[in-house]
Amino acid sequence: MNHAIELSVLSPMASVEYMIAAFGAVQQNGFATLTVPPFWVKKLHRDWPESTQAVLSTVIGYPLGYQRTETKQTETECALNDGAREIQVVMNTSAWFSNSNGWPKVEFAKLAKLIHQREAIFTVIIETDFFDEPNLIHALKTAADAGADYVQNTTGFFQKPFNLEKALCFKQLTPAQVGCKIWADGATNEDFTKLLEHGAERLCLPFRS
């Protein structure tokens, strides 16, 4: 199961010591990914073992995705230059629920091109609690059509209780051509097993020392 686990260290209270502890946990346990704020990518990349299969990831537009596309592009370029191998972009729900929701697809396509030119992974994070099912289906298709490699069901920023039924629904609605990540904070081992059995590729958890 460890190969499917992603650790995130996005707490505003996370110190450099906390980052290093999370880095150690990923290496020792064979986890798939460590996601950190852009500020920490360069430092962790300097110590990232070339032999490890784990991916150093960062998040752009956290936590609400409200930044201009140009800002997200600049942050993405900096993160890739600093050594990030995965870019997780928070969807701008405010743009989505405006009169025209075509702009998020344009933004995703621009970022997908930039990220894939550097042979990095592109994940789109959608705060699914704000979406009814028809909008969620549309948003997932938009992310997939624009070139996302993965979609994720929440940033975890709002700290809502884990709901297995909603998580499985997200996986069911995810287009076949993209991978599915589930924020699984609060999930049980049984929940983990069910998620993986139903085809979730990644289980995302906050690091706690």
Domain range 2-206, CATH class: alpha beta
pLDDT band at 100 (very low <50, low <70, confident <90, very high): low
β-partners of residue 86 are 57, 121
Q: What is the pLDDT of residue 99?
A: 66
Residue 98 banded pLDDT, cuts 50, 70, 90:
confident
| Residue 159 pLDDT greater than 70, yes or no | yes
Query: Mean pLDDT throughout 164-183?
Result: 98
Q: What does the domain layout of the chain look like in residue ranges?
A: 2-206
b/e per residue 61-84 (b: at least 16 CB within 10 A): bbeebebebeebbebbeebbebeb
pLDDT average, residue stretch 162-176: 98
Q: What is the pTM of this model?
A: 0.96
Give dist(CA 71, CA 48) in Å, integer: 27
Q: Taking Cα atoms as reference points, which of 80, 27, 172 lies closest to residue 182?
A: 172
Distance between CA 180 and CA 132 in Å, rounded?
Answer: 18
What pLDDT is recorded for position 101?
63
What would the pLDDT profile of 47-67 be if each residue is shown by its tens digit?
999 888 999 999 999 999 999
- Per-residue confidence at 146, pLDDT binned at 50, 70, 90? very high
